[in-house]
Structure 1
Amino acid sequence: MDKVFKALADETRRRLLDRLHENNGQTLGELCERIEMARQSVTQHLAVLEAANLVSTVRRGREKLHYLNPVPLHEMQERWIDKFERPRLSALGAVKRRAEEAMTDKPTYVYVTYIESTPEKVWDALTDADLTAAYWGHSNVSDWRTGSRWQHVRTDDSGIADVVGTVVESERPTRLVTTWASPDEEDQPERHSRVTFDIRPHADIVRLTVTHEDLNDEGERADVATGWPAVLSNLKSLLETGSPLPQEPWQVPAS
């Protein structure tokens, strides 16, 4: 939390966050516009924001896109605002929604988490059928080769897949990209969304960035914004403690 307050104390860094709030997913060159500062200085400010987990980056081809990560702001809200003022603050929720919008017309959701593990173990947790069954309630089934089909299969022995798609990129243990669709829309590519898992070493831990893009509407974005934090919290618990959370997060009634 100290890193967050330090990052927010600087006016330039607050301006960079404002820029991402206005238009999320920008390159370094785009962020340098309207800021009278050398490119190297802007890079240093972005490094401070990344260290505070206020900004996350995603590689797309040769470009490096910067996203506002609302999680530390939410944690500040819980610690410094909610315990003093109980009314629900809808304004922060609106900021979060805008911060997660993509540079396209379709909504995007980005989530970053840090896990005490190795990239190989995180990759296996995302792709191994038995491990995904342990923390996700579904088994992810595929040979995980580029171009292969994958399925998100229920663990009740019914064999029913609730999500299907194609493996777009597969670079163990650092990057996995898949399309997502409901089985009845598998032949409608315009309805498919796309999920990217970026797995990067971060000192002695791992930074996992999940980008879910090309969502069909804000309702679907709201659903994944609830689902991904729950799933990834369960994954984190499994890798760090050997067991998933005692109760599946998505089954806990909202307070």
Structure 2
Amino acid sequence: MVGVSAEAMDVVFKALADPTRRLLLDRLREQNGQTLSQVCEPLGMARQSATQHLDVLVRANLVTVVRRGRERLHYLNPGPIHEIEQRWIAEFDKPRLRVLAAIKDQAEEYAMTVPDYVYVTYIRASADQVWRALTDADLTARYWGHANISDWQPGSVWEHRRVDGSGAVDVVGKVLESEPPTRLVITFEDSLGESRDPSVVTFLVEPHEEIVRLTVTHERLPNEEMRNGISSGWPAVLANLKSLLETGDVLPQAPWEMSAAHA
């Protein structure tokens, strides 16, 4: 999230102040992409109550709803929490918290399943502009440092190719679905030397008057290491994309370099 207003952050803090809503976020953190029934049943919560709390979380941009056919799946959106961490925690107490987190991680057993990753951002642009930014090789090279190359037809191969002159390809995949300018689904294979099923990335472009809501869902993650990597990677890439479309230029420094500098 770039340039979050004080009013928007007030809404986030008010949403987090309620213990029931924090419990719902915990449920989605444990198992992302749940229907309303799946959220309610283990908590013994009435559907009406859960709906009211989820609506507050959606308005605060802490939860996003993705339609799959007739189902409405609820996903935890880490954007606002990432903003809180960067603004109020990272610069003050990150070294000590990192040590405590490492101790906590060693004391707990990891779940066998890795939750899906969902990120939502709002961009002042048209759906066609966002689609072109996602699929045009020259534009992706500007804000991503890699050119995404494909004809973007279902079944076609796509490549995430470096633009440093080496021509190296760091990610490959196939186009599963392509519905310009609103929906693109691709496989994502970033470990070319390993034999494992690829993860899947879905870009959902939803226009509303002069803005677009872009939802990126990264599913079928093989391990926590990859999830940790994309949790810092996607916000950086999408911040640069947002800056390019809204201002005509990318951010002054590559945002992913900031994550590396503060690691």
1:87 and 1:133, CA in 2 relative to 1: closer, same or farther beyond 3 A?
closer
Aligned to 2:261: 254
Aligned to 1:25: 33
1:57 to 57, 65, 71: 65
Aligned to 1:207: 213
CA distance in 2, matches of 1:92, 1:202: 43
Using structure 2 for the length normalisation, give the TM-score.
0.80
Aligned to 1:241: 247
1:115 to 92, 112, 123: 123
Deviation at 1:18, TM superposition (A): 3.0
Deviation at 1:78, TM superposition (A): 4.2
1:32 and 1:120, CA in 2 relative to 1: closer, same or farther beyond 3 A?
same
Contact 1:107 1:217 in 2 (8 A): no
Aligned residues with identical type, % of pairs:
62
1:143 to 139, 151, 154: 151
1:104 and 1:46, CA in 2 relative to 1: closer, same or farther beyond 3 A?
farther
Tell me the alpha carbon deviations over residues 104-157 of structure 1, each in whole angstroms, 9 at most, x when there is no partner: 834532222221212221111010111111111111111111111111122234
Contact 2:33 2:116 in 1 (8 A): no
Contact 2:182 2:205 in 1 (8 A): yes
Deviation at 1:79, TM superposition (A): 4.1
Q: SS of the counterpart of 1:89?
A: helix
Contact 1:142 1:149 in 2 (8 A): yes
CA distance in 2, matches of 1:92, 1:60: 39
Contact 2:30 2:115 in 1 (8 A): no
Aligned to 2:229: 223
Q: SS of the counterpart of 2:27?
A: helix
Would you say 1:73 and 2:78 are equivalent positions?
Answer: no
Q: SS of the counterpart of 2:261?
A: coil
Using structure 1 for the length normalisation, give the TM-score.
0.82
Q: Give the counterpart letter for 1:254 in structure 2.
A: A
CA distance in 2, matches of 1:40, 1:32: 10
1:3-22 paired onto structure 2 within 5 Å: 3-22=11-30
2:113 to 105, 119, 139: 105
Contact 1:167 1:178 in 2 (8 A): yes
RMSD: 2.9
Aligned to 1:100: none
Deviation at 1:176, TM superposition (A): 0.7
> Would you say how many aligned residue pairs link Structure 1 and Structure 2?
245
Q: SS of the counterpart of 1:65?
A: strand
Gaps of 5+ in 2: 1-8, 106-110
Deviation at 1:226, TM superposition (A): 2.3
